[in-house]
Amino acid sequence: MWFFTDEEKELQRVCGDFAQNELAPFAEKHDTEESFNIDAFKKMGELGILGITASPDFGGAGMGCLAATIVMEEFGKACASSTLSYLAHSILAINNIENNASKEQKEKYLPKLISGEHIGCMGMSEPEYGSDALGIQTKAENKGDHYLINGAKMWITNAQYADIAYVYTRTGKNKKDLSTFLLEKDKGHFKFGKPIHKMGMRASPTGELVFDNANVPLENRVGEEGQSTYHMMKNLDIERITISGISVGIAKACLDQCVKYANERKQFGKTIGSFQMIQKMIAEMAAEVDMMRSFLYQAAYEYDQGNHGPVLAAKVKLAIPKMATKIALDAIQVHGGYGYSREFPLERMMRDNKLMEIGAGTNEIMILIIAKNLLAITE
């Protein structure tokens, strides 16, 4: 984009090279095996991007939403699953800690998370509460010098590998009486429950976190008791913008595959790129990818300038993943039977992108956020 700084352009180049060398060659293998590319994840720590939005005081890069979105796009072109795990670690765990935790908590947790020595996750969704995030029932009971936490979290990215979990709990009767805790696996604060086998994002580990009378010290609470609803909503904005970067990466990869294939595949004695129907589909993909990128990075830029409202993030999250799914389906159509087979990566890209229309708030929730704002509906 024309407004990228020299630092952001260099980040784009470095992350693009890393993705092609460390993610793309192994994407199909990890998708087939439902395994986690932990070697590449550790190398992200060496690259210095796990703490992309965290302060340099704790080893972070000190950059913003736009920079994080660049990483998502470049990685998303190569392996969306690995990128989702990166997002869960860098945005859902580290960015939350950076923005909401005390100095002492940051000093304790951030360096190992940013280096990649520890892996982080965030616990919000529950077996019975997904879109209704404020309805969560995992409870933290104040016992004076500690809390007892009971409940479970579901659909948690990185659950199987997490050392640190940033977890939302209920600490009062009011729907907004939510409190956050930094929980440590080595201290027995949580256990891994059942793994979740998914249609897409198969190389991004997903599962259940279980809390069974977890004895958690007072100092592990983030902020004041009952004050975490604001933290949750604020971080959802940057999550929805940055996760849309994965969809742009997927869409661009689909376009690149189609251009290459259309120039190579022959039917009726000539390349399929010479047929107007194929030209139409590829031309529309190219225009759509450019529109997606422009909208996405404008939103990321505005976020970094202080526009943290939920409506812009919801518009991005609604429009971009939907368009990327269309592009992935069109790319499969261009490839015909090969597109539907696992010989080409397009079916994986389509499967992976479908999650973008569900995770971080479904399309339907995004519509409600946008419509209520436009129509001034307050209930």
CATH number of the domain where residue 343 is located: 1.20.140.10
Q: Give a yes or no: residue 191 inside a domain.
A: yes
CATH number of the domain where residue 197 is located: 2.40.110.10
Q: Is the pLDDT of residue 379 over 70?
A: no
- Same domain membership, residue 368 and residue 251: yes
- What percentage of the chain has pLDDT greater than the value 70? 100
In which domain, by residue range, is 114 found?
Answer: 6-119
pLDDT tens-digit map of 324-366: 999 999 999 999 999 999 999 999 999 999 999 999 999 999 9
- Same domain membership, residue 351 and residue 261: yes
Give me the active site residues, please. Answer: 239
Q: With bands split at pLDDT 50, 70 and 90, how would you rate the model's confidence at 113? A: very high
pLDDT tens-digit map of 219-252: 999 999 999 999 999 999 999 999 999 999 999 9
Q: Give a yes or no: residue 190 inside a domain.
A: yes
Q: Give a yes or no: residue 75 inside a domain.
A: yes
- Same domain membership, residue 290 and residue 171: no
pLDDT tens-digit map of 144-189: 999 999 999 999 999 999 999 999 999 998 989 999 999 999 999 9
Cβ-count burial 276-302 (b if 16+ within 10 Å, e if not): eebeebbeebeebbeebbebbbebbbb
- Same domain membership, residue 219 and residue 269: no
Span 36-56, mean pLDDT? 98
Q: With bands split at pLDDT 50, 70 and 90, how would you rate the model's confidence at 305? A: very high
Q: Give CA–CA dist 135/169, Å, rounded.
A: 10
The pTM score is 0.97
Question: What is the per-residue pLDDT for 175?
Answer: 87
- Same domain membership, residue 139 and residue 106: no
- CA 35 to chain CA centroid, Å, is 18
Closest CA to 168 of 118, 230, 215: 230
Element of type H or E holding 181 = strand 178-184
State which of 211, 228, 245 marks the end of a domain: 228
The burial of 177, by beta-carbon neighbours within 10 Å (0-12 exposed, 13-18 middle, 19 or more buried), is given as: middle
User: Total domain count for the chain?
Assistant: 3
- Same domain membership, residue 235 and residue 194: no
Residue 116, SS3? coil
